[in-house]
Amino acid sequence: MKQSISLNAARAFIEAHFDEPVTLAQLAALSALSVSRFATVFRQQYGSSPYRYLCGLRIQRAQTLLLEGVPGSVVATEVGFFDQSHFGRHFKRCCGMTPSMFIARAAANAARHGGASAANGAGGLSGASGLNSLNGTPTASRSASAITSSC
């Protein structure tokens, strides 16, 4: 029980600071565990490594910003990636498409659905990630921890 509470504190820290550099040492310290034990227990509890969980949160936010028209280069640094290339690689791994393909499909869906906004026309475009492209939240069928396992 105590371990679960300390993991919740680490997860809350990740969620609050996903756009900043976050280290395993920081998270382990919050949980009062060694780095290796923290990584093992986090994976067991949430179904993915702490890094994949962090990456999934960054991609969720990135999808929202992209649909709002924010340029990819700005999105990359805004959500905590080193640069646009780093962001693009992770986005493609998580979503099964590049950020520009994501935007193009959202626009095509919007046009096909009678001129709805790109955000409203993008539902289901996030590929393997299981993200709701409208607001960057997990779809009903998958939890946040499950999303990040494909990231």
Tokens of 117: 């906004």
pLDDT at position 104 is 94
- Taking CB atoms within 8 Å and a gap of at least 24, the contacts of 131-140 are 131/59, 131/60, 131/63, 131/95, 133/63, 133/67, 133/102, 133/106, 134/67, 135/64, 136/60, 136/61, 136/63, 136/64, 137/60, 138/60
Mean pLDDT of the chain: 80
- Which amino acid type is present at position 76? A
47-89 pLDDT tens trace: 999 999 999 999 999 999 999 999 999 999 999 999 999 999 9
**pLDDT over 70, % of the chain:** 74
Domain boundaries, the chain: 1-46, 49-151
pLDDT at position 116 is 53
pLDDT at position 1 is 53
pLDDT at position 135 is 36
More confident residue, 125 or 148: 125
pLDDT at position 5 is 77
